[in-house]
Amino acid sequence: MVKAEIKAIKAGRLIDGTGRAPVENAMVIIENAKIKTVGQNIKIPKEAQVIDATGKTVMPGMIDAHMHLNGPRLEESYVEGLNRPGELKLLDAITDAMDYLSAGFTTAKACGGMNGVFIKRAIAEGTLTGLPRILSTSYMLINTRGNPYPYLPAEYVDARTSKHLGSLGKQCLICDGVDECIKATRYSLSQGADFVKIWARGGACHNPEELKAIVQTAAEANKHVTIHTENSISAEMAILAGVKTIDHATGVEDKVVEMGNKAGTIFISTLICPKAIIELGDKLGRPLQETAWAQPVFDLSVLSYKRIRQLGGAMAMGTDYGAEILVKKYGSSAIELELLVNYCDFTPMEAIVTATRNGARAVYMEDMTGTVEPGKSADIIIIDGDPLADIKVLQDVGKIKMVMLEGNIEIER
């Protein structure tokens, strides 16, 4: 019998991710990959490796519930980015994922493109190490009107017809009508997707029958569906069809939030994306369509997220990191938490919950991760500072002193 590996973390304060008040001088006992015991005045097992985090904050590893692994690079122009070979983008995305783990994100939900599927498979095979847990879709579903890049031909993005190998080519499956939507869903899942992603940019959403067909087909494979929405109408149709996560959630109205609450829907924030475009887009030569898009989207998102909070909706944190090049230039993905606090009336604790418990719900892993509780995976970070006093401390990678994933110490500073 293999002897269990036991670790004991002596915490200065514990933020367990549930939203409960922090616990001072807490102890966390870990056995192999899982948390065994949490509390105060707990006896440390003789055989335990003791990790002294006195004076520091222990909390769950953070979860980004909407990011991408497209591998954009800051030094390239927008046009160069469109034409950069997909193979190079994949290599770049691997280093982006490593950076994510280093910054305290132990789980990432990759919401478009095949790179996430490839990277996840390489992790499972042992080819890659030092990366976060990845949940990934494959090809995203759009309708003919729903081209995510309106200044490009629709054929440019369909994985079955495009020969383009750049960052935007071959990301989507164009499908219209129930039969095409069923086939596209099955095709997406056949490529190794953990969930199905619908792209309804600009409100060009599939109709109710098409949405229900996508959700039902995914359910037959025990998979969930998430959707990119930018108005209340598409969000409402998606919730009625059984879509589990409403990503971006721009412009949602009261009745949609209330519907989502009853259905157990998770709304996912992405303030950092339009904020980055507002502040950096003109300087770096972004297309006018995108720079004009950013300010109203940011303003509507702020109103939506305030509404979701006020009405008791469940919100998880996303960023669009890895899809929008300017998000990476803007800084750490944890900036999203600061934006929720500064613009949307979230307390620091409420913001942390979006990146912990609610993040786990948004990646369909709430029974496994997202909180520091017995039976959960030992996905834990140790911070030199108190994010409840200053949420910005989570943006300082140098302050993330330890990152543990499934009981393994992956980063130690």
Q: What percent of the chain has pLDDT over 70?
A: 91
- Which spans in 221-331 are helix H? 232-241, 254-263, 272-280, 288-310, 325-330
Identify the weakest region by mean pLDDT among 78-87, 91-100, 188-197, 225-234: 78-87
Q: What percent of the chain has pLDDT over 90?
A: 77
Per-residue pLDDT, averaged over 257-269, amounts to: 97
Rounded to whole angstroms, how far apart are CA atoms 181 and 241?
14
Cα dihedral 356, 357, 358, 361, rounded to 10, equals 120
Alpha-carbon 196 to chain mean position = 14
- Model confidence at 311: pLDDT above 80: yes
Contacts of 266 (CB under 8 A, 6+ apart): 65, 244, 245, 246, 314, 315, 316, 358, 361, 362
User: What CATH code is assigned to 62-362?
Assistant: 3.20.20.140
Max mean pLDDT among 51-60, 163-172, 269-278, 285-294 falls in 51-60
pLDDT single digits (tens) 135-193: 999 999 999 887 666 666 666 777 777 665 445 556 889 999 999 999 999 999 999 99
**CATH 2.30.40.10 in the chain, residue ranges:** 6-61+372-412
For residue 374, what pLDDT band results from cuts at 50, 70 and 90?
very high
For residue 282, what pLDDT band results from cuts at 50, 70 and 90?
confident
pLDDT at 152: 64
Q: Per this entry, what is the length of the chain?
A: 413
Fold of the 6-61+372-412 domain: Urease, subunit C; domain 1 (2.30.40)
pLDDT single digits (tens) 8-30: 999 999 999 999 999 999 999 99
Closest Cα to residue 67, out of 102, 131, 112, 105? 112
Identify the weakest region by mean pLDDT among 12-16, 197-201, 223-227, 300-304: 197-201
Strand (E) or helix (H) holding 383: strand 380-383
Alpha-carbon 248 to chain mean position = 11
**CATH 3.20.20.140 in the chain, residue ranges:** 62-362
Q: What is the average pLDDT score of the chain?
A: 91
pLDDT single digits (tens) 187-219: 999 999 999 999 997 768 999 999 999 999 999
pLDDT single digits (tens) 105-135: 999 999 988 999 999 999 999 999 999 999 9
pLDDT at 85: 77
Q: What angle do CA 311, 257, 15 make, to 5 degrees?
A: 55
Q: What is the pTM of this model?
A: 0.95
pLDDT at 169: 57
Alpha-carbon torsion (324, 330, 336, 341), positive or negative: negative
Rounded to whole angstroms, how far apart are CA atoms 306 and 116?
31
